[in-house]
Amino acid sequence: MGIAVGSNRGIFVEMNVVPLIDVLLVLLVIFMIIPHKQAGMMAQLPQAAEPGRVDPQPSVIVVQVLADGSLRINQEAVGWEALRDRLEEIFMLRANRTAFVRGENEIEFQVVARVIDVMRAAGVSSVGLMTPALEKTAETD
């Protein structure tokens, strides 16, 4: 800032902006150069899944009780003593703990109730009974 004393006007004050422009240009150059010198961190991006890979777990679990008293889990034969262990293994990593029971016409409900008890003990939270109408809708999906 400069001050000048005039003869008939008194004190005359004028602003000297040249040093401010110099500082502004220096800051502009600094902020233009700094981003080019920075290096980011290495990141490992997730890769796309292989297109041929299919989820091996079926979405619906059905325990079948056959007329001779044998059991199947999604067409895989399983014994009464191994039913609980196999169900625990199936539902270990699943968030949806829903399963269905399908009994043949000749089976007494007491056998189906025993299967439901084993399923509940294995950690299945929701057990449904498979009916012919439900099977038709499941086949069309």
Q: For 37-90, write each residue's pLDDT tens digit.
A: 667 788 888 888 777 655 566 678 889 998 888 899 988 999 999 999 999 998
Residues 27 and 77 grouped into a single domain: no
69 and 32 Cβ atoms separated by less than 8 Å: no
| Residue 77, domain extent | 61-140
Residues 23 and 69 grouped into a single domain: no
Outline where DSSP puts E strands in 1-141: 2-5, 11-14, 61-65, 71-73, 76-78, 98-103, 126-129
Count up the domains in the chain and report the number.
Answer: 2
Q: What is the pTM of this model?
A: 0.55
Residues 74 and 29 grouped into a single domain: no
For residue 26, being part of any structural domain is answered with yes
Spatial separation of the C-alpha atoms in residues 102 and 99, rounded to whole Å: 10
Residues 18 and 83 grouped into a single domain: no
Residues 26 and 69 grouped into a single domain: no
| Per-residue exposure over 20-29, b if at least 16 CB sit within 10 Å of its own CB, e if not | eeeeeeeeee
